[in-house]
Amino acid sequence: MSTTVNSQNIEKDAPKLGVSALIINEEEKVLLVKDKRSQQWRAPSFSLRNSLDPEVYLRAKVKSVLNLNIESPQLIAGDLIEDVYLLRFLISDFSGEIKLVSEKYSEVKWFSKDEMTAKKNICPLVIAAFLKAHNYLEQGHYKDKYQRSLADYQNLIKQSAQEKTEFIKYANGRLLEELLPVYDHLKLSLLNLPETEIKNAWVIGVQHVLKQFKDLLSTEGVDEIVTVNQPFDLNTMEAIEGEGDLVIKEVMPGYKLNGRLMRAAKVIVGQKQSKKSEI
């Protein structure tokens, strides 16, 4: 025997939909309204009509009843109350000055967690929903705190690694700087030698030591600043004589350690001589 199902009866027996606003401020207090008929404190709730979008409808009703603008409502619970299925939305982002305009509610008040559990005429379902919302916010707070802490920790690791790298690069800087005069004197000892002495054993020995010295400095990241016939660079050179923007003579060499200036080169500057063609 077949049974005919009446779609109108299904719609009639199905629970109606409603929306409820759990508005929680920065002090973690929830905004409740007092029902005139039952004298019970509840979260602002509204029957959903004409298959409207719940969030859009909730925004409009909260604005008209409480004069508040709400942003980013989050669905956190649903309660079946008699023939109404109530969708409970958590709202922590709102603005405006509260002004109650309602025939259904007589008062509006902020309640803390302790005040809610101590007061007898607060709807138990609202208390349960608030505790859930409170936990939800708390978890979000700790999650944000954890993510911030993790980011700070990762930044600290990067900073420490960078500082360690910088320390390693320049750790021997002071020692190398003290060795530079020795290196300079070795180079000076080979300047202006007579032709008869260039092939002497001591000269060849000094040249060998000088090469080893230069290779060692290069390995440690020390580079000699090129000066002669180069434009004068205020950042790496010190002009002790002359006028102009071209280095014509080097008095004392300058050095960099891994790109950082160790000692400025002392130079004599002059003007660039232009070539004149003779007719």
For position 143, what pLDDT does the model report?
Answer: 55
For position 34, what pLDDT does the model report?
Answer: 94
Strand segments (E) across the chain: 16-23, 30-35, 41-42, 45-47, 69-71, 74-81, 84-91, 93-95, 105-111, 222-224, 237-241, 246-252, 255-257, 260-263, 265-270
pTM strictly above 0.75: no
For position 109, what pLDDT does the model report?
Answer: 94
Classify domain 9-138 by CATH number.
Answer: 3.90.79.10
For position 117, what pLDDT does the model report?
Answer: 81
CA distances from 257 to 179, 233, 267 (A): 13, 17, 20
For position 58, what pLDDT does the model report?
Answer: 92
173-270 fold: Nucleotide Exchange Factor Grpe; Chain A, domain 2 (2.30.22)
For position 85, what pLDDT does the model report?
Answer: 84
For position 63, what pLDDT does the model report?
Answer: 95
Strand segments (E) across 49-191: 69-71, 74-81, 84-91, 93-95, 105-111
- In 81-123, alpha helices (H): 113-118
For position 107, what pLDDT does the model report?
Answer: 94
As a whole number of angstroms, the distance between CA 15 and CA 205 comes to: 103
Distance of CA 147 to the CA centre of its chain: 11
For position 278, what pLDDT does the model report?
Answer: 42
- Same topology, domains 9-138 and 173-270? Answer is no
For position 61, what pLDDT does the model report?
Answer: 93
- Ranges in the chain, pLDDT < 50: 1-12, 277-279
For position 50, what pLDDT does the model report?
Answer: 63
As a whole number of angstroms, the distance between CA 195 and CA 14 comes to: 114
Q: How many CA atoms lie within 13 A of 256 on its CB side?
A: 12
For position 106, what pLDDT does the model report?
Answer: 93
Containing 65, the helix (H) or strand (E) segment is helix 54-66
For position 230, what pLDDT does the model report?
Answer: 93
Domain limits of the chain?
Answer: 9-138, 173-270
Report whether 73 contacts 89 (CB < 8 A): yes
